């Protein structure tokens, strides 16, 4: 069987904000075992093919679109592998506009099931463990700004990803 790859656009954060997010992620993962992954918020995808034209459009997109501040709800979790424990993000107007602008570059499934979040842990963990962990974490009262977008290649089994390019938002 072919190892089919897909592509997604992630939102990335400034080094200072990323440092704080990794600090929290490390605390979470010291309690809940998880595969390693880069801190991000998924913005768009999947794309099944990309080309140089799309890459050029992404670069221009970064130059003509501003960074946005995420409206954060705090910690949450689900009984899903890739939403095991995360920072919940409101699907605010600026986030919706950013995603709509991305869809103008290259269409993707822009449906209402989008659940924006910043994952802190992947895996299958007990609900009680997750509830107890929330009480051990610092209150989340930081502003989080998406300052760049990244094109990411993901293998079919979703266990390997590679950031191909990233572009600063204006």
Collapsing DSSP states into helix, strand and coil, what is residue 68?
strand
> pLDDT tens digit string along 113-167?
899 999 999 999 999 999 999 999 998 877 899 999 999 999 866 667 899 999 9
Centroid of chain to Cα 74: 15
Query: Hey, which residues does 75 pair with through a beta bridge?
Result: 87
Collapsing DSSP states into helix, strand and coil, what is residue 156?
coil
| pLDDT of 1 | 42
Cut 0.85: pTM above it: yes
Q: What is the CATH number of domain 6-108+115-168?
A: 3.90.1140.10
> pLDDT tens digit string along 109-118?
887 689 999 9
Q: How far apart are CA 96 and CA 31, in angstroms?
A: 33
CA-closest candidate to residue 145, choices 4, 59, 17: 17
Residue whose entry in the numeric block shows the structure tokens 């010291």: 30
Q: How many CB atoms lie within 10 A of CB 65?
A: 17
Q: Is the pLDDT of residue 27 over 90?
A: yes
| pLDDT of 142 | 78
> pLDDT tens digit string along 51-85?
999 999 999 999 999 999 999 989 999 999 889 99
Query: Hey, which residues does 42 pair with through a beta bridge?
Result: 10
């Amino acid at each position: 069987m072919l190892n089919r790859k897909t592509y997604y656009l992630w939102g990335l954060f400034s080094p200072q904000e990323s440092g704080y997010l990794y600090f929290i992620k490390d605390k979470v993962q010291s309690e809940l075992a998880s595969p390693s992954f880069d801190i991000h918020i998924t913005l768009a995808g999947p794309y099944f093919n990309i080309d140089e034209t799309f890459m050029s459009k992404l670069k221009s997109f970064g130059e003509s679109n501003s960074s946005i501040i995420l409206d954060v709800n705090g910690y949450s979790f689900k009984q899903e592998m890739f939403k095991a424990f995360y920072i919940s993000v409101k699907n605010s107007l600026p986030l919706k506009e950013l995603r709509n602008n991305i869809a103008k570059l290259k269409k993707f499934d822009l449906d209402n099931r989008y659940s924006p979040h910043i994952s802190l842990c992947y895996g299958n963990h007990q609900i009680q463990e997750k509830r107890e962990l929330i009480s051990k974490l610092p209150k989340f009262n930081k502003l989080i700004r998406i300052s760049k977008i990244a094109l990411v290649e993901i293998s079919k089994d979703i266990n390997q990803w590679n950031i191909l390019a990233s572009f600063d938002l204006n």
